[in-house]
Amino acid sequence: MTTERRNPRSVDIDLIPIERVLKIINAEDALAAGAVAAAIPNIAKVVELAVNAIRTGGRVIYVGAGTSGRIAALDAAECPPTFSAPVEWVQAVMAGGAKALTRSIEGGEDDREKAASDLKSKKLTTNDVVIGVAASGSTPYTLAGLEFAKDKGAKTVAVVCAENTPMSKTADLTVCTAVGPEVITGSTRMKAGTAQKLVLNMISTAVMIRLGMTYSNWMINVSMTNSKLRQRGIQMLEEILGVKPDEAARLVEASGGKLKVAVLMGATGCGRKEAEKRLAEANGNLRRVIGYMGIGRE
């Protein structure tokens, strides 16, 4: 496996000055972005699958073990606070369960039966998309998860860092980021992990954009659950509506802390109930409502 090969560019790395060590690591990390760029056509196909899944009542479910599982769990966990997305939309299942998020449970990655059990609890349907994440593309837990999902009729995706892997042969679609051998042989928390994080961030962010969970590049659905996020919401209103901070703060209060409602109230002068009604009619898509009113552009 390419992910387990020795890297000729980091041979005897333990004998050189620290600054040179860091430059080698940095140069290798830079390769991850290029590997991800090469995979964009397939990443786009995954986004289309995921958007269609959510629109038809399905979910995106990541499956992984070790570093890959933790990266997947992090991406899923960030969707609700960033986009106010329902927690059901993007989920993660990882070998070893919640305990494995904070400490290594390496034996869990070999447990094929637990993968089937974990996914069985999700009650998969044909509307779901299951995304297996593993650098080697052969992790038993993740592979078994994809096999189980496929048996249930769910769409399956493999996110891997090597060509022609067992996961790739199982999945309907593969995203391969061929980052090559790591600085420390086999330590796929490094380049491979970086590439995986980039891919999953791209998938979840693009999905949320397509589902209308942003307005332009503003985080319009952010949950204002603390002072920092409230201030962020006020600043967005200032920029979108061209109003002063006091007026933006008033709109936040009047809208019940719902930014999209606040934008419509500020742009049209309508009340909260009317703004909520217009948004509901457009399935919460602010751009669609603003386009219908002739404000802004599609």
Are residues 127 and 27 both part of a single domain?
yes
Among 78, 88, 238, 247, the one annotated catalytic: 78
Q: How far apart are CA 194 and CA 146, in angstroms?
A: 22
Find tokens 């060509």 and name the residue.
Answer: 163
The token duo for 44 is 């786009």
> Can you give the CATH number for the domain in which 174 is found?
3.40.50.10490
Are residues 163 and 51 both part of a single domain?
yes
Q: Which of 118, 104, 113, 149 is nearest to 131 (CA)?
A: 149
Q: How far apart are CA 46 and CA 157, in angstroms?
A: 7
Q: How far apart are CA 170 and CA 158, in angstroms?
A: 8
Are residues 136 and 260 both part of a single domain?
no
Its domain, for residue 121, covers 2-210
Are residues 109 and 150 both part of a single domain?
yes
Are residues 153 and 239 both part of a single domain?
no
Q: What pLDDT, on a 0 to 100 scale, did the predictor assign at position 298? A: 39
Domain annotation covers residue 220:
no
> What 3-state DSSP class applies to 174?
strand
Q: How far apart are CA 28 and CA 7, in angstroms?
A: 10
Domain annotation covers residue 87:
yes
Single-letter amino acid, residue 72? A
Q: What pLDDT, on a 0 to 100 scale, did the predictor assign at position 216? A: 86
- Residue at which a domain ends, from 176, 210, 244: 210
Are residues 160 and 267 both part of a single domain?
no
Total number of domains in the chain: 2
Domain annotation covers residue 92:
yes
Find tokens 């933790």 and name the residue.
Answer: 70
Single-letter amino acid, residue 264? L
Among 28, 109, 147, 276, the one annotated catalytic: 109
pLDDT by 10-residue block (mean), the chain, 298 residues: 82 93 95 97 98 97 96 96 92 90 79 93 97 96 97 97 96 96 90 96 96 88 82 91 93 91 92 94 87 52
Q: Which of 194, 213, 217 is nearest to 204 (CA)?
A: 213
> Can you give the CATH number for the domain in which 267 is found?
1.10.8.1080
Are residues 231 and 119 both part of a single domain?
no
Domain annotation covers residue 255:
yes
Are residues 275 and 188 both part of a single domain?
no
Are residues 249 and 277 both part of a single domain?
yes
- Residue at which a domain ends, from 161, 176, 210: 210
Is 106 among the residues known to form the active site?
no
Q: What pLDDT, on a 0 to 100 scale, did the predictor assign at position 84? A: 87
DSSP H helix total and E strand total for the chain:
12, 5
Single-letter amino acid, residue 186? G
Q: Are strands 173-176 and 129-133 parallel, antiparallel or unpaired?
A: unpaired
The token duo for 227 is 């002072």
Contact indicator for 204, 53 with CB cutoff of 8 Å: no
Is 78 among the residues known to form the active site?
yes
> What 3-state DSSP class applies to 158?
strand
Contact indicator for 132, 159 with CB cutoff of 8 Å: yes
> What pTM did the predictor assign?
0.89
Half-sphere exposure of 189 (CA within 13 A, CB side): 7
Single-letter amino acid, residue 2? T
Q: How far apart are CA 242 and CA 6, in angstroms?
A: 56
The phi and psi torsions of 99 (rounded to 5 degrees) equal -60, -30
Q: How far apart are CA 273 and CA 44, in angstroms?
A: 37
> What 3-state DSSP class applies to 172?
coil
Are residues 234 and 180 both part of a single domain?
no
Q: Which of 193, 197, 214, 204 is nearest to 87 (CA)?
A: 204
Domain annotation covers residue 298:
no
